[in-house]
Amino acid sequence: MWAAAPLLLLLLLLLFLLPLLLARLWRRRAAPLEPAGRAVLITGCDSGFGHLLALRLHRLGFTVFAGCLSPGGEGARRLQREAAAGRLRVLRLDVTRARDVLAAKELVLSHLPERGFWGLVNNAGISTFGETGWLSMEKYEKFADVNLLGSIRTTLAFLPLLRKYKGRIVFMSSIVAYFSLGNGIYSMTKAAIEKFCDALRLEMKKFGVRVCIIQPGNYARSTKIQPPVSAEEIWNELSEEEKAVYNKEYVQEWANFFNSILSKGSTNGNEVVDAMVDALMSPTPKARYMVAKLTEKALVFACALFPTVVMDSVLSYALSK
């Protein structure tokens, strides 16, 4: 019996790897999507990944609706300058406002190209730093409204169109959906959006709608989502109860640690945009695209593999240093 164990293990390994190899071969052979005449709406195009994606999709031939929080801002003006008239439209879109989302839907419906509405990219998001007790309830509500409910609000509005045209929905998550290092409020919203996507992906299969999640690693220097943090500003915003527990030196050390992480972020945001484009154009898109360094992927793998008590010890030790 034990002599057959290596053979059984090899068989199980082949059964696991064979579908992956076949899927990879199919992805290489299948023809990519023809973008001409298809519309895509992207949220959060003022800067960062959304801005880069709007330009990329426009150059590929899509009809692009670029939602910007500030349609008169620098990012929106840059999009308008670089895009040909007619096929890229900049619109005001605050995903926390239902009337903005409905106005965006009306605009899309009135300017649909011949092949209809193909994709929704839920990219808009905000980030901040701070331990759990340092952040006010108002801040928690704001983050949930933008990062989680904003994506859900926009998705529900465009779901009938996506079902009709058998389109794609792309969500921006993060590897910090698996762990937290000083930005628990951001991790919380990304973990929640992952679960929403898992449910939506299964439900949409019967309609031919694909749901994809993008999981970037540290790309802080490619976006404006998380500027360097100021220990002084954090301290001034703390409640008296929190100030009685912590001191300025501790907050400064935390800020220095977090800023050092930000400074190591990749500046090549196009790596993430490549994944977003594949999610929209591939005939066989992945459910998840993890775009991260090898060390970041290893940390995610460890979080999934090892017991929580082990990872808590590892992360606590790292934070203490």
**Minimal CA–CA distance to 292: which of 227, 193, 224, 219?**
219
pLDDT grade for 47, boundaries at 50, 70 and 90: very high
The residue count for the chain: 321
Q: What is the pLDDT of residue 46?
A: 95
CA distance 298 to 309: 18
- Three-state DSSP at 288 gives strand
Q: What is the pLDDT of residue 3?
A: 54
The C-alpha angle 193, 194, 197, rounded to 5 degrees, equals 85
Share of the chain above pLDDT 90, in %: 66
Q: What is the pLDDT of residue 28?
A: 57
Q: What is the pLDDT of residue 270?
A: 95
pLDDT digits (tens, 9 = 90+) for 198-238: 999 999 999 999 999 999 999 988 887 888 888 899 999 89
Which ranges in the chain belong to alpha helices (H)? 5-29, 48-60, 74-82, 98-110, 137-143, 150-165, 184-204, 231-237, 240-245, 248-263, 270-281, 294-305, 308-320
CA distance 134 to 238: 6
Q: What is the pLDDT of residue 226?
A: 82
Which tokens in the block code for residue 158?
Answer: 């465009």
8 Å CB contact between 229 and 255: yes
Share of the chain above pLDDT 70, in %: 89
* pLDDT score of 315 more than 90: no
Question: One of 178, 186, 219, 289 is an active-site residue; which one?
Answer: 186
Q: What is the pLDDT averaged over residues 50-57?
A: 96
Longest Cα–Cα distance in the chain: 72
- Measured in degrees and rounded to the nearest 5, phi and psi for residue 102 equal -65, -35
* pLDDT score of 105 more than 70: yes
pLDDT digits (tens, 9 = 90+) for 9-38: 566 566 656 665 655 555 556 677 899 999
Give per-residue burial for 114-135: e unless 16+ CB within 10 Å, then b: ebbbbbbbbbbbbbbbbbeebb
Q: What is the pLDDT averaged over residues 39-44?
A: 98
Q: What is the pLDDT of residue 12?
A: 57
Q: What is the pLDDT of residue 223?
A: 87
8 Å CB contact between 36 and 61: yes
Q: What is the pLDDT of residue 155?
A: 98
Which tokens in the block code for residue 144?
Answer: 């949930």
- Three-state DSSP at 264 gives coil
102-105 own/partner pairs: CB under 8 Å, 24+ apart: 102/157, 104/41, 104/65, 104/67, 104/154, 104/157, 105/157, 105/158, 105/161
pLDDT digits (tens, 9 = 90+) for 233-284: 999 989 999 999 998 999 998 889 888 888 888 999 999 999 999 999 999 9
Q: What is the mean pLDDT of the chain?
A: 89
Of residues 2 and 222, more confidently modeled: 222
250 catalytic? Reply is no
Location of structure tokens 């949409």: 204
pLDDT grade for 85, boundaries at 50, 70 and 90: low
Q: What is the pLDDT of residue 229?
A: 85
pLDDT digits (tens, 9 = 90+) for 126-166: 998 888 889 999 999 999 999 999 999 999 999 999 999 99
pTM: 0.87
